[in-house]
Structure 1
Amino acid sequence: MTIARFEAFATVVELGSFTKAAEHLNMTQSAVSHAIASLESEWGTTLFIRDRKKGIFLTEVGQKTIVHMREILNRMETIRQEVTLASKLEVGTIHIGTFASASACLLPKILSKFQRKHPNIEFRFYEGTYEEIAEWLHTGVVDIGFVVQQDSPAPFDMIPLAKDEMVVAFSAHHKLAAEVTVPIRALKDEPFIMPTGMYRAHVQALFRQEKIAPNIRFEVHDCNTIANMVQEGLGVTIGPALFLKTQPNIQVRHLDVKHWRTVSLACLSIPESSPAVKAFLSVAENV
């Protein structure tokens, strides 16, 4: 049982492939397979189910152990960073979970400022839903995650970054284009494109607040698809200004009913984070 075997196992899980893991670790595929086989032999259990058609899957034991292995690997990364920091040499990798609008509007500014100060730190990005990012934080897949703060107490340490207003969007020649502020009741009979994930709860809260039901024509998951459908005049939508204002060829207006979401950076524990993560959070807080 060695750190190298843990790293091989965790990389196979992350990339879903022995071949990709070998390339990433600069090892031969047989060496990666041997590392996994050695763990399975030492523990007397099977960690992966291998299926030629469907790929590889974790067994129940594999699912339980990967969480602890990631914790050990994260601790080793922290130790490495602490040692190199003492030698005035900055190294390390930060794993960041993010969603579409954060990737487009918040992350680039933070990265630009951070890399000017810490050019030797590397990054790996994982884009997903709010729920996926929270799960990645809990299981150690990512060190930091962009999240939307909820009203209930969060299980993470948070650094608020931006207040993001929910706005209405429609095509360039829509009749509402003459309005500076759109009454939400004016949307009642408009064909509405409802998001199925990410910020659906925020949209529903707005309609519930006014006790009206939208005329849902389409339900769509992908943010970019929603923006393209709006552009083509297939309906109107409500979504975060952070994302919608960056989309070309659509009109965005304030609503007469205000609803905001707070986008934050989260990690399990700032005091227990690695030096690189702490430095990134410090830069993000002051962008």
Structure 2
Amino acid sequence: MVQRFSITLTQLSYFAECAKTLNMTEASQELHIAQSAVSTAINQLEKALGAPLFVRQHSKGLVLTPAGESLLQETREIFGRISNAVESIQAGQNEVRGTIVVACFQTIAPFLLPQLLEKLEANHPELNVEIIEGDHDECMAALKSGRAELAINYDLSEADGVRFQIVGEARPHVIVGTGHRLAKRKRISLSELADDDFVVLNLPGSREYFISLLRLMGVTANVRYRTSSYETVRSMVAMGLGFSILNQRPRIRETYTGEQTAILEISDQVPTLHISMSTLARSRPTAKAAAVMEAVKMLLAESEQTG
């Protein structure tokens, strides 16, 4: 007996794109089809299931209903299994192909992504990688919503339904301008900066981490400037506007202003940040995700050996 279903993979793919964008117009643009086709497919899917999947808000987009949330989880599982089956067949011919979307913490991105993309192009020329950059929360949101299959992030917090794998560490360090009284030192205690102004990298999770390092050493942060830009932090510090604490280390000392910074190691025992790769716990990583994860591990291992 032939098993027939009242819903189609096309309807599910349209539904998944609407759930990702929460906007039918944007979904239709991503799918390169008319909005009316998307709307019709969603209506037919809701009729077949006997439950609304979205709350339509005029001029405000879509909101998933509980039924929609449930179907989205199952749809990801279905598409994941199909992808795994296709990739398993292709793997027999040593091919990794298709498109993968990777979310990456914005301060890790310039240090890792160029080398990562170069390595992936060399090893897997049929693999297309799309990048989403953001802070910790934005990367996790991209992963959970299905917009990204893999997230490269710091272990600033845990998230339900997400599988984490630690792949490297980024030890914190202090940066000061070359004219700072401590600039010629190799190592310092954070307590030596108790009276200095602090320029904080103002990203969710990051700012709390940096301030907590000072608090751990009994120092109250004298926050003078806040910025979400890594390079703006470095430029402000180079101009003598305060010190900062960062984790990623550029290979150059010069900033956009032409001035330079000095890197000082922290002599105190302070917590480090770990670089992690995350996937949804319910789905087995695809061959595409596995290829990216392997390349990241190799690059970070090489970096530790030369660092």
Q: Same fold by TM-score, threshold 0.5 exceeded?
A: yes
Aligned to 1:240, which of 244, 247, 254? 247
1:273 counterpart = 2:279: no
SS in 2 for 1:179: coil
Structure 2 CA distance for partners of 1:134 and 1:267, relative to 1, 3 Å = same
Give the TM-score, by structure 1 length: 0.83
1:216 counterpart = 2:223: yes
- Distance in 2 between the 1:216 and 1:174 partners? 17
> What amino acid maps onto 1:255 in structure 2?
I
Q: How many aligned positions are there?
A: 286
Preserved CA contact (<8 Å) 2:80 2:284? no
- Distance in 2 between the 1:232 and 1:219 partners? 15
Structure 1 match to 2:267 = 256
Give the TM-score, by structure 2 length: 0.78
Structure 2 CA distance for partners of 1:245 and 1:149, relative to 1, 3 Å = farther
Preserved CA contact (<8 Å) 2:107 2:248? no
- Distance in 2 between the 1:70 and 1:206 partners? 39
SS in 1 for 2:198: strand
Q: Using the aligned pairs only, state the percent identity.
A: 23
1:108 counterpart = 2:120: no
SS in 2 for 1:110: helix
Structure 2 CA distance for partners of 1:9 and 1:223, relative to 1, 3 Å = farther
- Distance in 1 between the 2:154 and 2:253 partners? 19
RMSD of Structure 2 on Structure 1 (CA): 3.2
Preserved CA contact (<8 Å) 1:227 1:244? no
Structure 1 match to 2:304 = none
Distance apart, 1:188 and its partner CA? 0.9
Distance apart, 1:119 and its partner CA? 0.7
Structure 1 match to 2:39 = 33
Preserved CA contact (<8 Å) 2:105 2:154? no
SS in 2 for 1:142: coil
Deviations 1:128-166 (CA, angstroms, capped at 9, x unpaired): 332443454455443221132479999625151x32121
- Distance in 2 between the 1:272 and 1:198 partners? 28
- Distance in 2 between the 1:228 and 1:2 partners? 54
1:185 counterpart = 2:200: no
Contiguous gaps of at least 5 residues in structure 1: none
Contiguous gaps of at least 5 residues in structure 2: 1-6, 300-307
Structure 1 match to 2:305 = none
SS in 2 for 1:178: coil
Deviations 1:89-147 (CA, angstroms, capped at 9, x unpaired): 54222221211122111222222112211111122322233244345445544322113
